[in-house]
A and B are shown apart, each in its own frame.
Chain A
Amino acid sequence: MAVLTGLFNRYSTLIQISPLVITLVLFLVGPVIVIIILSLWKFDGFMTLEGVWTLRNYEKIFTRSLTALNYWQTLKMFLITWGITFVIGFTLAYFLVFDIVKLRTKMLLFLLCVVPFWTSAVIRTVAWIPFLGTEGIINQAIMGLGLSDQPLKFLLFSEFAVLLSYVQIFTLFMMAPLFNVMARINKDLIEAARDNGASAFQILWNVILPLCKPGIAIGTIFVIALVASDYTAIRILGGSRVGTVAASMANQVYNFQYPPAAATAMILLIVVLLLVGGVMRVVDVRRQL
């Protein structure tokens, strides 16, 4: 028994970290290795030729003009989503931290923002259809008010619809880390800035915003990951008009074009890792946790 306890104490760190490492090796590193191998297999248009190695899948990605188009659309969706979720998320976090005084109200309002996330994401996405469709609420309202005599078609099955659902869902992922860092800002700093004659804008720009950097970084990482990965919202709300990298990859998987899909996935993974790596170079996320 004493030997066992001694062993346990000696290797306690190893015992504590190994469940995490084993799970991630099995279900993250493993799949990535499988995908790397798969991406190097030959695909003749109908079936995967196992064990026949080729770089053709990657070559195709870099020579197809569609690739650039897909990445451009993904980047555009990310930038728009990031911009809007940042402005809304920052304002909401600011409101909760600085405008609401009572802790209980703060928690209640924060909870109100979280509750909708317990409705299935798929259903929540479908729910935009009765809003945005040609006979949907918005079109009824617009036509009822006489603003247009025809239903607006761009509302549903479009980039607009996808962006709307992104903003609805991803704002929380931006707001939560911002809330977390803002709540830790020492109020004396703001007071000191005000005493020294700083305007409200100067306080925001020179005091609060710099202190929010780690929150912005974490929120940005979330939004990058979410936009780069999503294809459910695109499938439900995008019609066939939205072609992000993830959506085109999902199509390839759907048509059993596994090796090309694998190559696309690897390139996307590298791009996302580089982006997130860049964010983490600017802000030491871990030290701020």
Chain B
Amino acid sequence: MGVEGIGARVARKEDKRFLTGKGRYTDDMTVPGMKYAFFVRSAYAHARILSIDTAAAEAMPGIIAVLGGKQLQADGIGNLICGWMIHSKDGSPMKMGAWRPLAHETVRYVGDAIAIVVADSLSEARDAAEAVVVEYEVLSAVTQASLALADGQPQIHPEAANNIIFDWQLGDGDATDAALARAAHVTEMKIVNNRLSPNPMEPRATLGIYDDAEDHYTCYTTSQNPHVARLVMSAFYNVAPENKLRVIAPDVGGGFGSKIYIYPEEIVCLWASKKTGVPVKWTSDRTEAFLTDAHGRDHETTVKMAFDADHRIIGLKVDTIANIGAYMSLFSSATPTYLYATLLSGQYDIPAIHANVRAVYTNTAPVDAYRGAGRPEATYVMERTIETAARELGVSPVELRRKNFIRSFPHQTPVIMNYDAGDFDASLDAALAASDYAGFPARKAAAAARGMKRGIGMSCYIEACGIAPSAAVGSLGAGVGLWESAEVRVNAVGTIEVLTGSHSHGQGHETTFAQLIADRFGVPMDNVNIVHGDTDKVQMGMGTYGSRSGAVGMSAIVKALDKVEAKAKKIAAHLMEADESDIVIENGELKVAGTDKTLPWFQVALAAYTAHNLPSGMEPGLKETAFYDPSNFTFPAGCYICEVEVDPETGKTQIVQFVAADDFGNIINPMIVEGQVHGGIAQGIGQALLEAVHYDPANGQLITASYMDYAMPRADDLPSFQLSHQTTPCPSNPLGIKGCGEAGAIGSPPALINAITDAIGNNDLSMPATPQKVWLAANVAH
């Protein structure tokens, strides 16, 4: 490992511009003639639109246009789609209702877009939006999924009877039922995974520019995957053919999944730009973000975990109702199915598993993948249940987990996944040691003497990243392949540009990816530039989500580097009159092994471009492209141990210790990985202690529409985290990387809730464990 190579704690190249306010975000983009958009949105959760009167608004000062859904539909702009087909267990395809970019017949959640107002200034657009008169016939609304599927509830889309989009299953129902029937003990729990609002620091924004002279569109947008945005807008929404549409996702301030999807605003602003002849910019305010960004989680689950007399898990039965919201967002069908039920084996050897998932429409914002996406829900089900089982069985939660750990790899679970590597004991041992688990009883007694209830809880998580083998996901219903691309351009002076289909929105790719090049060629990181986020610059790519940029994106770079290296060696061998197989690359030089013959990297690059003296028949230039399609998912895993003190008088929980022992495979930059884990745990603690989206069940109004009511974790809610890494390299990709972006958010909620329930002696506690809930649960128990 060099000072800048793989394994080095290199400070982030991009931080200077972020920390000094020099980042260039979508809202920073300004073009001549640009106008501002404000959207008219539904004030009701469910209503029929009787009429829309824009006359008064159009007459107001500074107004360019007020456009609605009828005009959009007349211009042939398509409805929004869900890109992953799920079939119900009866074989029928999922029942997807129409999501119009601008609603003109029915609105289905508070915030549903109805019209766009384009004006000289944002305040004029906003003033005019208030003057648009929408006449509604208000319909009754339903916000909770388990209510929405009952008879007699409001029907949200005509396509989906009882609001059920699909009723899907995975695993062997008969074998699981048989295991439950013969079990010595069954632990049954009802578990709710609370709905979350993603809250990236940068709200969504878009700038649509139509160039009449060139008949060409440019879309600046806050996207995690600009090429997918271009593909979908072109292929499904008829905004423009791909060759006439450039999508640019510049600096993006956090996404957490919410910026994977295509939303109405990008489509409408592009269309409005053509319609009005002016560039149209829209930036979400925080209220709109709460109302319209795709939410996460929102599962209601019943789980039964069956044990034999020796405390081995012999079966697991899970029944989940997933709230999809009012419309099916881009990957909303995959999140509660193939990203969820496939992880229900956890770290355990379970012979029989059956999961049933019903996806249900409600009059709420669309729900889709949010940091972890299905895997936090699965981990929460598994780790709360096994902890509860240990308490019911009167055995150590550590030993119950150990007894059931998978220890030989590869391991085929009953729910599709084939775990390729791992050492679950190693992470558990490390976490037990770091947390001084053995010393807990003494700490609990000391806390009790101070009147505090101290508890300890753990979570042994596994997740699936590196998504995903294209053929595999294709067979499961994905509408896209999940490979990644890279192009490595060595310039004539030896500097290097790497064009990647991955997209950085906080992950530090400009640093981590450059470290890989520095390591491979021995060139300074400063000579390497990472280019991403622009469909006119970068070849087709699939973007960043699911902790895939290291495992998939960097693997594509490795493949391109292999090609570059092979060609550079051929050139060097030719120039130094040596055999190609004797050429080695070290410290920025190409050398003939065992001799003092050497050529600096830049001279080889220069030779490639002058082309004065290349091997016979070789094309000039030194630039290679690669597409990498993974052969398997990757399986990050680990053990988190959380220790809390609960104030029994108020129910307030203080986290006094948090230990994370993770196996991410090989690590490029430990500092960036630690930052990812810190952020992930903060979000997991947010879910477990503080965050929850609440709709008024009577009328579907969003109650938590600001930070006055939606509690985000603050620095003083969080402890210092003790991190460690145990490494089993991933066997399926060239760098041995598993991925680290989501683990913190996946592993931490059950560890924290298990700690609180341990402290108060009551397993019946739901997230977020607010002081009030904990106080009530503690008082019920005593």
Q: Do A and B come from one complex?
A: no
- Chain B residues engaging chain A, CB cutoff 8 angstroms: none
